[in-house]
Chain A
Amino acid sequence: MKVFWTVLALFVAFLLQSALTHVVPRQARMVDLFVLVLVYCGLVGGETHAMLAGAAGGWVQDVQFGGGVMGLSGLTKVLVGFGVGLSGSRFQLTEPAARVLVLFAATLLDTLIFERLASAFDVRVQTLSLGGLFTRAALNAALGGVLFFYVDRHLARRRRS
C-alpha cells in the first residue's frame, strides 16, 4: 500500500510539474514537487522509503525535464532522501515548523548537490543565484508545509473514521 501511495504521489507531482511548466514556465523552475514527495516519505517512512522515492522522482525528472545526462537528479535525490530519512528517525520532526525547516534544507541541499554533481560530471548547467537558491528553498518549504498539513489532517480523519 505504501508503494502504491508513493507512486501515486510521484505521478501527481509529475502531472502538476508539467502543468506548471505550461502555465508559468519561469516560476515552475523554482518549485520542485518531487522534493516534497521525497521529504514526506523520509519523515514518515524513514531513509529507505525516502531514498527509493527520491530515486524514482529523480529519474522522472531526469527523463522528462532534465538534460543530456540521466541520473543526476536521481542521485541527488537519493542523497537528499537519505539525509531526510536519517534526520526523521533521529529527531522529532512532526511539528509543522520543523517540517518546513526540513523542506527548506532539503531543497537547498538538492539544488547545491545537483549543481556540484553536474560540475563534477562536466555537465554544463544554468546555475541559480544566491537569491534564487533561497527563493527556491523558501517556495518549496512554504508549499510543502501547506501540503503536509492537509495530507496529515486528511490521514488523521481517515484513521479516526
Chain B
Amino acid sequence: MIYQDSKTLLAVRGLHATVNGIEILKGLDLTVKSGEVHAIMGPNGSGKSTFAKVLAGHPAYEVSGGGVVFEGGNLFELKPEARARAGVFLGFQYPIEIPGVANSQFLRLAYNTVQAGRGKDELDPLEFDDFVREKMKLLEMNPDFLDRSVNEGFSGGEKKRNEILQMALLEPKLAILDETDSGLDIDALRIVAGGVNQLANKDNAIVLVTHYQRLLNYIVPDYVHVMDAGRIVKTGGKELALELEARGYDWVGDEVKANARVSA
C-alpha cells in the first residue's frame, strides 16, 4: 500500500550487472518505499531474476555500474549474509535442497543468526519449535516438514511455502520474491499469496518478480514495472499487469523504441 511520507527503503540508480562477462542489467532505476508492493514483469531474458540475485548478492553476478542504496547505506558494501541480517530477503525461484540438514535445524540456525545480527534474542530448540509451528499455520504447512531435510523431496508448492515460511521467520524489511508463483497450482498459489499478504505491513516492502499476471490477482501491487533488455522501461499501476496479460510484452518494447526515436 502507498503511504504518504513513508521512507525510501531501496533506491536503485543506473544499475549495470554482468554474468560471465555478459551485461544483463543495463541501467536499471527503481525506488521502493516502505509499505509498498511492487511487481516487476517482463519477458524471459529481460533481467528480472538477475536483478533479484544482484540485490541478494549472488557471487556469480558482478555489478559493473550504478548503485543501490538500502535504508540509507550502500547495499553493495554488505556481504550476502550481512544483507540478510540487515533485512533483505530473497525468495528463491528454485529453492535449494540440502539433504542431511533437518528443516527445523536450518530454520532455527537462520532465525537465530539473523536475530543475533539484529541484537535480538535467540530461541532454544523448544522455544523455536513453538514459534515456528505457529508461523507454519499461516501457510497451512504440516509440521512434518520440520523433520524432513531442507526442501528435499518437497513438491514445487511445498518449496515455495517453505520460502515464505523463512520470510515469516526472518521478518525482512525488503522481500524480493523471485517467480514465487511459478509451478504452483491455484490452491498453493492462494495459500502462498495469503501468507505474503499477512506479512506485508507499512514498515516493509515487497518486490514480486513474475512472468504472469495471475499472482497479482492475489497480491495486489501498488506499482507494476516492465523490464526489457536490462532496464525498467515502463511503470504503471495494477491495471498495467492486466494490459500485459491481454496484449503480451511486444507492444511495450515497440513503444520504448518509438519514444527513443521521438527523443532522438
A and B interact physically: no
- B interface vs A, CB < 8 Å? none
